[in-house]
Structure 1
Amino acid sequence: MTLDQTQFRPASAHPARGAVTDTMDPAGPQVWEDMTVEVALSVMTAARTGHLAVCDEDGLRTGLVTRAGLTAVRDGSGYTDRIRLRDIADVIGPSHHR
């Protein structure tokens, strides 16, 4: 999957989903749970950040994922390029605002 095929969506693109950026602490890029680990790492690199807010299909923040957490998953023995963020809930840190 290339970056132009990702589901990276700024909050302003979906005003009906709620103001996700208003609940982020600290503010940063957001991604959806259906994004693959590899694409999330690419988004993180492009955004020059060490974390991403993870949102559900309704645009509600469900957690926070870090570069270290994603890298650990990617480097694990059971990793495949089909693993999505929703598949690694144990790596996604809790959201401060659910």
Structure 2
Amino acid sequence: MTPVQTQPRPADPATVPLTGAESAGGTDASGPQVRDDMTVELALSVMSGSGAGHLFLCDEDDQCTGLITRARLIAVREGPAYTDQVRLRDVLALTR
């Protein structure tokens, strides 16, 4: 087994709306992009598979509308109101 060296990261906001070049498809919006109708469980699976700490959310017109972190999704999943039907757009609605 190969040891992995980790580096501390600055705390990410749980959910961040995109502005400017990010929402226009600029270089700042790099990383996995998913639709906002994806479930929390599937989003966490995508994050695990890609090794990403966040996902960029896109609406039905494939326009990036925000990003969400793994920490926020885990917090939602551990919350009392969580069901396996909770969608990423529901998580965004809770934080606006």
TM-score by length of 2: 0.69
Unaligned runs of 5+ in 2: 1-22
How do residues 29-40 of structure 1 correspond to structure 2 at under 5 angstroms?
29-40=32-43
What is the aligned counterpart of 2:51 among 48, 51, 75? 48
Q: Residues 51 and 65 of structure 1 are in contact (CA less than 8 Å); yes or no, is this contact kept in structure 2?
A: yes
TM-score by length of 1: 0.67
Residue 41 (structure 1) shift? 0.4
**Higher RCO (Cα < 8 Å, 6 or more apart):** 2
Q: Which runs of 4+ in 1 moved over 2 A?
A: 20-24
- State the identity as a percent: 55
Find out whether 1:70 has 2:86 as its counterpart. Answer: no
Question: CA RMSD, aligned part only?
Answer: 2.0
Aligned to 2:60: 57
**Counterpart-to-counterpart distance in 1, 2:38 and 2:24:** 19
Q: Greater Rg, structure 1 or structure 2?
A: 2
SS of alignment partner, residue 57 of structure 2: strand
Find out whether 1:84 has 2:87 as its counterpart. Answer: yes
Unaligned runs of 5+ in 1: 1-19, 93-98
**Counterpart-to-counterpart distance in 2, 1:91 and 1:26:** 20
Provide the aligned length of Structure 1 versus Structure 2.
73
Higher helix share goes to which structure? 1
